[in-house]
Structure 1
Amino acid sequence: MKVDFWQLSRDPVEKVVALIAQRVLGAGERLLVVSKDAAQRKAISDELWKAGPESFLANGEASAVGAAEQPVLLSEAVEALNTASHIIFADGEYREPAGFARVFLLFDDTSLEAARATWRGLDASEDMERAYFAQEDGKWVKKA
């Protein structure tokens, strides 16, 4: 499993989720976005829909009818009703991501120490590849 740590500095979480979602869906995969904050999930959903009819990213809440068909599923729980292979922890809180091929932990200054603790906690995990990304001049750069 790959675990990517993305430190937010310039762009808001909803824009970063949309960027990652475009890449995941472009690769023919499905995505689960987890946040315990309903308002944050709503902002993410709005950002995913707002690109327009040619490039919108279809999504829905896990509690809604048809959740299993959504290419991007928004939830407060780590439960891939849509059979997602990728998961984003949008609220900066890491949870056990069993069964996912790739994990994205998005964090900012308020969750920096928790992200560092998670990084250290994953040191002993076998079959796990970690990476750390930060923004430089508007681009995402792999730092570690």
Structure 2
Amino acid sequence: MQVDFYHLTVTPLDRALPQIAEKILSGGGRLLIVAESGAQRAALDRLLWAYSAESFLPHGEAGGEGDAHQPILIATDTLAANDARYIALVDGLWREEALGFDRAFHFFDGDRIAEARSAWKALADRDGIERRYWKQNDNGRWEQAA
């Protein structure tokens, strides 16, 4: 199980998340996006429809009739009604349930760095977990730092 920590310093979530979502979908995978805030979930819903002039990312908000059919599902919790094997925690809060997926993406900014460090340390000695820490260079490109 792989956990990727993404420290958002230059590129905001609304540019980083769609890139990862596109890669997952292009490989035939499904994604669960988790955010506690209703306002953030609504913003993500709008983002995934309009992030690119050429395309959109098919998705829905959890609680609908067609949850099981959504390639990307936006939810408040880690229940993957769409059978996703990938999870993106986008509100800076780590959730242990993310370890039940094949791969977790934990996005955080400077306001949540303490929580991210705690999660990083807590996962250090856990069997079967590979941690990766990604940071942005001055040009906004992602570099693996750990």
Instruction: State the partner residue of 2:39.
Output: 39
Instruction: Spell out, residue by residue over 1:52-82, the C-alpha distance to the aligned partner (whole angstroms, 9 max, x if none).
Output: 4x52101111112211111000000100000
Give, in whole Å, the separation in 1 of the partners of 2:65 and 2:28.
Answer: 23
* TM-score, L = length of structure 2: 0.93
Query: Secondary structure at the residue paired with 2:143?
Result: strand
* TM-score, L = length of structure 1: 0.95
Q: Which runs of structure 1 show a deviation greater than 6 angstroms over 4 or more consecutive aligned residues? A: none
Give, in whole Å, the separation in 2 of the partners of 1:16 and 1:125.
Answer: 27
Query: Secondary structure at the residue paired with 2:100?
Result: coil
Instruction: State the partner residue of 1:59.
Output: 59
Residue 112 of structure 2 corresponds to residue 111 of structure 1: yes
Instruction: State the partner residue of 1:133.
Output: 134
Q: Give the drift of 1:99.
A: 2.6
Tell me, which stretches of 5 or more residues in structure 2 are unaligned?
none
Give, in whole Å, the separation in 2 of the partners of 1:33 and 1:17.
Answer: 9
Give, in whole Å, the separation in 1 of the partners of 2:141 and 2:106.
Answer: 17
Give, in whole Å, the separation in 1 of the partners of 2:119 and 2:12.
Answer: 22
Letter in 2 for 1:125: R
Residue 90 of structure 2 corresponds to residue 90 of structure 1: yes
Give, in whole Å, the separation in 1 of the partners of 2:117 and 2:23.
Answer: 26
Give, in whole Å, the separation in 1 of the partners of 2:19 and 2:142.
Answer: 11
Letter in 2 for 1:142: Q
Q: Give the drift of 1:86.
A: 0.3
Percent identical pairs in the alignment equals: 40
Give, in whole Å, the separation in 2 of the partners of 1:6 and 1:21.
Answer: 14
Q: Give the drift of 1:12.
A: 2.0
Query: Secondary structure at the residue paired with 1:110?
Result: helix
Query: Secondary structure at the residue paired with 1:73?
Result: strand
Aligned length, in residue pairs: 143
Query: Secondary structure at the residue paired with 2:15?
Result: helix
Name the CA shift for 1:18/1:7 in 2 (closer, same or farther; >3 Å).
Answer: same
Give, in whole Å, the separation in 2 of the partners of 1:99 and 1:4.
Answer: 14
Query: Secondary structure at the residue paired with 2:6?
Result: strand
Query: Secondary structure at the residue paired with 1:15?
Result: helix
Letter in 2 for 1:115: A
Contact 1:32–1:87 (Cα < 8 Å) also in 2: yes
| Cα RMSD, aligned residues only | 1.1
Instruction: State the partner residue of 1:18.
Output: 18
